[in-house]
Structures are given as C-alpha cells and as structure tokens.
Amino acid sequence: MTVSWEGVLHRPPGVRARRRLLSLLSLVPLLTVGCDALAPGHDTPGAELLWDRYGVPHIYAEAEEALFHAHGWAQMEAHGELLLRLYGEARGRAAEYWGEEHLAHDHRLWTLGLPSMGLEWWEESDPEERARVDAFVAGINQHASEHEEELPEEVRRVLPVESADVHRHLARLVVGDFLLAGSEDASGRWREGVEVGAANQGERGADATGVRGGASSGEAGSMAWAVGPDHSTSGRSLLLANPHLPWGGRHTFFEVHLNLPEVDVYGATLVGLPVPVLGFNRALGWTHTTSPQRAWDLFELELAGGGYLLDGEPRPFQLDTVALQVGDGSGADTLVVRRGEHGPLLDRLGRRGLALRHPGQEYGDLLGRWWGLARARDLEEFEAILSGGPPPPGLTVTYADGEGNILHHGGGTSPRRETWDPEEGTGPLDGTSSEALWTEIHSYEEGPRTLNPPSGWLQNANEGSWYATVPPEADPSTHPPYLAPEGPLPLRSQRSIELLGEGPLTLEEMIERKHSTHIPLADRVLDDLVEAARASGDGPTMEAARILEEWDRGTNSESAGAVLFVEWARDWLSRAGTDPPETGGGPFAEEWSPDAPLTTPSGLADPAAATRILSARARALQGPLDQPWGEVYRIRRDTLDLPAAGGPGSLGTARVLEYQAGGGGRMEAAYGDTFVLAVEFSDPPRAFAILPYGNASQEGSPHRTDQIGLFARMELRPIWLDRAEVEENLGRRVSF
C-alpha cells in the first residue's frame, strides 16, 4: 500500500510541532507520567472503576496511565462492537473487513487523506499523549482478550487495536465530519445534473467522490447556555450542554467520571476517544456547538496534460496509490488519488476538476488540548489552552466557572482569505489563479468572543456568534465577512434567546426551559393560516383550522394538532423554494430583518397557497386530525416503545428530536437531544444529566434502556460526584 499526506499549508517544517509543545508545556501544570508506551494487554495496577447504577464509570487512579487504561477497558465493556467497527472504518479498511458495500466509504476516507493524517498525528504526538493513548488502547485490548467470545467474529477481525487507530478515528470525526460539514452538499451541487467521469478510478471503476455521503452534512447541531451570577437566582454560574447528534454510530456519546489526585472531571466523550470533549470539573465547565464558519473551500481547476494549470503554468498532481482489499481476499481495488496545491481532486467534468482545500491537518494535538481543558483551574488557563493552537474545528465554545465568569467564542476554523465574494456562497472558487489560494488560518484571538456580558447570559444554537447575547456584544463589522454569517437568525436560535433572556434562573428552571417543546413557527404564521382556512368554505379544511386553533402549539406527547401542523409546515416550507408564492418572494409576508431579529419572519406571503397545502395534508393524514403527537412519534429501543415529546429544530423547537420511519406506521426518534448536562457551580457543583440511548450499546446490557423512561418524561438524573454518593449508587466494582 502506497499512501502519503501532504499538508496544504506551506510554512517552515517544525512550526506545528513547536506550537503543540509550547501549548502543552506553558499552560496547565502537567501530571508526571512515564514516557514508555504500554503494550496492549500490559498490566496497569492502581485504578478502581466504580460503575454506578446508570452504567457511568467513575474511575479513580493515582497516575494517568492507570486512569486511561481503565477508561479504555470501560469503553470496551460498554461499546465493544461499536468501538471496533469505528476503528476498522477509520483505518480505511471497512471493505476488507465487511465487504464491497463499504468500498465507497473507504474511498472517501483515502481521498480526504484521513487514515494517513491520523497516523501522522500519532507519530508526531508528544510522549505524554502517547502514554495516555497507549494506556487507553491497552485497556481496550485487555478487555477484548478477556471477553473475546462475547464479540461477533466480524468485529474481531479488527483486533488488536493499535494506538494510531485513536488518531485515525479522531481525524475522521473532527476533519471528516465537523470541519468539513457542508462540503459534500456543495460538491454535489457543483455536479448536479451533469454526467461525471470519475476523478479517481480504481480497477473496479469506483468513483471517489470525496466528501459526498458522509454523516456530517448538516446533521450536527446543538444548543449551549451559560448563565452568570447576576442572571442566576443562587448567584452562581450555570452551564447547559445540549448536543444534537444522531442516536448511534460514530457520534455516540460515552459518559465518564475521571479522577486523579489533582483532577476530578465529569463529562462525555465520543466513543473511541480517550478524553472528555465536553464536561466540567469542580472549578469550570465547557461545551461545544457546531459552528457555521466554513473551514474549507472548493476550487474549480483547469485540467491539462494529466495535471492542472495554476497562474498559467502547468502543475503536476501528486499521485497517491492505495491498494485496498475487498472482502476475504477474493477481490482487490486500487484507488489513485490526485492531489495538488488545492488539495485532493474530487471530480472531473471534462477539462474542469473540483478540488477541496482545508486545514484539517492542524489538529493533531486536539486530544491533548481537550485533556488540558478538562484539567484547567480557571478562565486564564482555559483560554490559554484554546489560544495555544487553532480554534476547535467546526465547533464553538461556551464556558462557565465557579468564579462567576461566562464566555462564548465563535471557535471554528476559518482560512485567512485575501479575496472573498459572499455571493459565491460555498463556491467553487477560481482555481486557475493563486490569488484565492490561502495559506494561513485565523487564530483564537481573531474569532468572535463575548465575556461576561451585561445581560448576564450567553447562548448559541449553531448560528453565527453575533447573537451570543442581546444586546449583542460581538461586532461583525470588526471581523472578516466570512468569519461567521450575520443572518438570518434561525427560529431555534430566536427561541433559545427568548427562553434564556427572562431571569433570574434557578438550575431547575433552566432545565425546565431547555425541555420546551413549543414550536415558534406557529406563533409567526398560525393565526393567518387559521383565518385563511376558515374562509375556504371547505369542510375538512375548516375542521383542520379548528384543531390547529385549539392546539397548544407544542410537541408534548399529548399535544393534539402538532402532527397536522408539522406535516403542513414541512410541505409549506419545502414548496416555498421550488414553487414560490404568487407574490414572487419567500414564504413569509415579512422576511427576517436585522432590524427586528427576534420577531421576524412572520405572516403568510400567500395565504391561499398555504391553505391549499393544509387541505391536502388534512386529507392525506393517516388517523384523526387531532391525534396526539406521542401516538405517532415514538421513542423505541429494544423492547421499549414510549410516546415522544420534542420536535424539529427547523421549526424552532428547543427540545429537538428528529424521526425516521418505524414499524406500524409510526415514527421513531433517531436524532436530536443526546447528552444533556446542566451544572450549577456551587461548592461542590450541583449537576444533572441524561443520555437517552443509555451509556452502553452492547446487546444485552441493561444500560441500553435505563434512561429512556426519564428522557420520555423530560427529566434529568442527578450526577454523583463525591465518592460516597457513587458508593451509595454502586452497580459494580472493578479493580485493576
């Protein structure tokens, strides 16, 4: 197998390594750890793992290696089959392990260079990170050896896990998903309606279309709140973490409590990663939301002579050849990836080519930086770690601490673009000139940042960070126009501001507001719709109007009328883009305006068209028009089947649940609220959480379903921090 990865940023060798070393040595006091890597299966005594009755591991150790060894063992216990699948996929060998249907996935990863990037990250990691990752992997392999018979044969093919697998998995998550979010949609639009020849042909003629087909295209979302002492009833800061992600796969969260003599951090990581990606310690806490910043650019190249033209001069592609095994060895596939100054070539349209440029290779030290955030003791240390490298890829940061500070940073990773035309949207850009070929990215200090605003609160619901608080503190005019979009402000963001802005708040009130199922879109258009439907003179349409008028405008399980409204709203909004109202404008009578950012859009631009859609939906709806939301929309896992509460974020709902078709003509929750964490920074902190799908995915585990009932009732469970509390709620004890 011949593979390589060439970075797209041009700078003197060693800059990245020096940056990483400085960021780790100059910020947070490091615990002393050995530099010798642990071999898989190495015995690492000194850790105790206490599983609480919800399957959360509370790990206590004297040294980092023992702590991470136990953490790896715990993840394998809870998610063994999933974890091995994720690592096998991240190697770019899924077709080898599980068949030809995974070949397109492998092509995507190798075209983006992610397996090579992860290996490079591992090889360049510092001794402290190597020791942590080696110990984590040793714990995984130890558990696999002890419980091999419990694993399906098809995932045992991945064993033994290698330490580099952790960084390969990290590269697929943070680069392939978060940093490159939206790029596959843009490349798809570039190709739409055109017969395309494969850019990178293998022996089987497979089309390596690069960024299409990933799990990140618009899926990831979140909500984050930070409340300062002046907006809190107790005078203590509050923090809410509320990621919205798929309920399964590589975005599965694992809840964990890690304890060392100088570290006590509680939070969640993504399965396969050894450190918390969001959480809190006794001094501070942080969370992320996905950022709308665009960290990549598509470039349209002029192809010539087997290469491409740049500034009128021919340039050769670098050819990376990847030999892939398919299935049990009966087949093989060869992928040739072409890379140039603009990154990998994704597609070819005659003499034109599409290339993708991004700064993803800059994130090799992200695990160490996340671990630094978990150990930080105050705002100064926390921001020093964030500013020690590029901002988190594709993610904002929201923070609160026990000293009363609250912070929001736009995060993300934006190239420093010398030329930018907002009308071009997601591109592609002109790749024949080096004028748009950026070589640097913006630093943490250059991003939108709001600290301790007079309002006493901060929020983000995936919009640009200019409305982190109201009145706004961050000024878009002082930043490049591409750094974050200024509007329109989505309804879910408006709802987040509305819910958080009225205070002061107790921790319990913050949790209650987070669970709001109210649909703000109804407040903007329902009165117009009911009036128009009543005037139609059509019996079924008038009956639909009556039901909608009596509806509580929420998606609680008992809400009658919500099913009808959501069906109408989705149809109405989707038709607005392809079949404009008679007015020739958008679907609303008044579109969003920066002069009224929290009350627009509103009204129906074409009430007659909206009424026709309602009439069609009322006649097509299966079941009575006033059937409760929870009869149609369900939360299902294993043998449990419960009524759901929560609706589409696109309609403005704060408690976000998206659904997929299930059995019996019902819809099943598949995406939305995942790990929900609410913290009050008292001494000690008070905290509550929920992980709807449970802290385990292994078949037969009781922790697959033990939180679903609480989630369906819109309740959180207490987090046990003190060891005495953990012992009182002990499920099982394991010593290493």
Phi, psi of 706 (to 5 degrees): -80, -5
Q: What are the b/e assignments for 474-508, b being 16+ CB within 10 Å?
A: bebeebeebbbbbbbbbbbbbbbbbbbeebbbbbe
Tell me the residue type at 505: L
**Same domain, residue pair 356 and 372:** no
Tell me the residue type at 500: L
Give a yes or no: residue 3 inside a domain.
Answer: no
pLDDT at residue number 168: 98
**Same domain, residue pair 188 and 327:** yes
**What CATH number should be reported for the domain holding residue 377?**
3.60.20.10
Structure tokens given for 657: 């649940």
**Same domain, residue pair 194 and 265:** no
Q: What is the mean pLDDT of each run of 10 residues along the chain (736 residues)?
A: 30 36 35 33 72 98 98 98 98 96 95 97 96 98 96 97 98 94 81 42 29 33 95 98 96 98 97 98 97 91 95 96 86 93 93 94 94 98 94 92 97 85 74 93 93 98 94 90 83 97 95 98 98 95 97 98 97 68 68 95 96 96 95 96 96 96 94 97 97 97 97 98 97 96
Give a yes or no: residue 493 inside a domain.
Answer: no
State the burial class of residue 623 (Cβ atoms within 10 Å of its Cβ: 0-12, 13-18, 19+). Answer: exposed
**Same domain, residue pair 198 and 343:** yes
- Note down the domain range covering 268: 227-294+367-485
Give a yes or no: residue 667 inside a domain.
Answer: no
Q: Show which of 308, 330, 361 is a domain's final residue.
A: 361
**Same domain, residue pair 285 and 428:** yes
**Same domain, residue pair 410 and 540:** no
Give a yes or no: residue 673 inside a domain.
Answer: no
**Same domain, residue pair 429 and 305:** no
pLDDT at residue number 208: 27
pLDDT at residue number 192: 59
**Same domain, residue pair 91 and 205:** yes
Q: Show which of 653, 686, 721 is a domain's final residue.
A: 653
Q: Show which of 345, 361, 377 is a domain's final residue.
A: 361
pLDDT at residue number 489: 94
Whether 74 and 256 have beta carbons less than 8 Å apart is answered as yes
**Same domain, residue pair 93 and 202:** yes
Distance between CA 668 and CA 632 in Å, rounded? 9
Whether 217 and 184 have beta carbons less than 8 Å apart is answered as yes
Residue showing tokens 């491409």: 308
Helix H or strand E encompassing 162: none
Q: How many domains are contained in the chain?
A: 3
Give a yes or no: residue 497 inside a domain.
Answer: no
- CA pseudo-torsion sign 335, 341, 345, 349: negative
pLDDT at residue number 271: 98
Q: What are the b/e assignments for 423-454, b being 16+ CB within 10 Å?
A: eeebbbbebbeeebbbeebbebebbbbbebbe
**Same domain, residue pair 65 and 164:** yes
Give a yes or no: residue 680 inside a domain.
Answer: no
pLDDT at residue number 423: 65
pTM of the predicted model as reported, rounded to 2 decimal places:
0.90
Other C-beta atoms closer than 10 Å to the C-beta of 390 total: 25
**Same domain, residue pair 401 and 476:** yes
pLDDT at residue number 190: 76
**What CATH number should be reported for the domain holding residue 591?**
1.10.1400.10
Give a yes or no: residue 356 inside a domain.
Answer: yes
**Same domain, residue pair 88 and 156:** yes
Distance between CA 504 and CA 272 in Å, rounded? 39
**What CATH number should be reported for the domain holding residue 80?**
1.10.439.10
Which among 406, 374, 482, 483 is positioned nearest to 224, based on CA atoms? 406
Give a yes or no: residue 457 inside a domain.
Answer: yes
